[in-house]
């Protein structure tokens, strides 16, 4: 954690890169995307999986047997859902012992209204930038919208966070802000993260 906030790096694919990113100080979660249409789609077990960081599997409207299969194969700690999965679907996975992160796309305050249906079915929410495709756009939404969020589930902030975002992140506060999600803006190519860029960002966040 950095300043009491979870640091999650998503879209990991390569064993050596996974090992290098996990070794950075402050990394809490590493995400693996099991959505075939994503350029960061991973389906084969890499030669190294995180030992210290929590393993998060990202799915979009996958059936439960598929989620369970990847959860077992990759030893997932969390399942992150980016589709139209219902609260009942989330609860059914919780009953199987999985922790749930439900992603919501945000552009306007009204986009937060549906999150309250999921209050008892999720461990974290993830608030991302609204876009046409699943999986994010790499762009930032107006974080001030989140001041209208009055729920009880802690959330991870996602969407367009980049190496120069540290100052803005330190200036944004919310009692339920749990952490930050880093992905496309820290990459050399889809699925391979720039460890130097992440390290520099984390150092700025700490300073």
Q: Can you point out the beta strands (E) in the chain?
A: 6-9, 29-33, 54-59, 78-81, 99-106, 124-129, 155-157, 177-182, 187-189, 192-193
CA neighbor of 7 nearest in space, from 196, 169, 192, 122: 169
HSE (CB half, 13 Å, CA atoms) of 137?
A: 13
Which of 10, 13, 90, 122 does the annotation list as catalytic? 10
DSSP H or E run through 69: helix 64-74
Q: Going by C-beta distance under 8 Å and a sequence separation of 6 or more, which residues neighbour residue 176?
A: 149, 151, 152, 153, 154, 155
Among 13, 28, 128, 181, the one annotated catalytic: 128
- 194 counts as catalytic: no
Is residue 128 flagged as an active site residue?
Answer: yes
Which residues are tagged catalytic? 10, 128
């Amino acid at each position: 954690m950095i300043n009491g906030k979870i640091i999650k790096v998503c879209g990991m694919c390569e064993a050596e890169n996974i090992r290098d990113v996990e070794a950075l100080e402050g990394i809490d979660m590493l995400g693996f995307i099991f959505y075939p249409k994503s350029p960061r789609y991973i389906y084969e077990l890499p030669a190294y999986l995180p030992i210290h960081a929590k393993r998060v599997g990202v799915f979009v409207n996958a059936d439960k047997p598929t989620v369970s299969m990847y959860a077992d194969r990759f030893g997932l700690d969390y399942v992150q859902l980016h589709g139209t999965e219902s609260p009942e679907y989330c609860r059914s996975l919780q009953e199987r012992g999985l922790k749930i992160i439900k992603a919501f796309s945000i552009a306007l305050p009204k986009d937060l209204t549906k999150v309250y249906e999921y209050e008892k079915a999720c461990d974290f929410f993830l608030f991302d930038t609204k876009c046409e495709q699943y999986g994010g756009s790499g762009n930032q939404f107006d974080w001030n919208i989140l001041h209208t969020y009055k729920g009880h589930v802690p959330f991870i902030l996602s969407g367009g966070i980049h190496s120069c975002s540290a100052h803005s992140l330190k200036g944004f506060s919310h009692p339920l802000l749990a952490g930050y999600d880093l992905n496309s803006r820290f990459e050399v190519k889809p699925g391979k993260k720039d460890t130097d860029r992440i390290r520099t960002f984390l150092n700025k966040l700490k300073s």
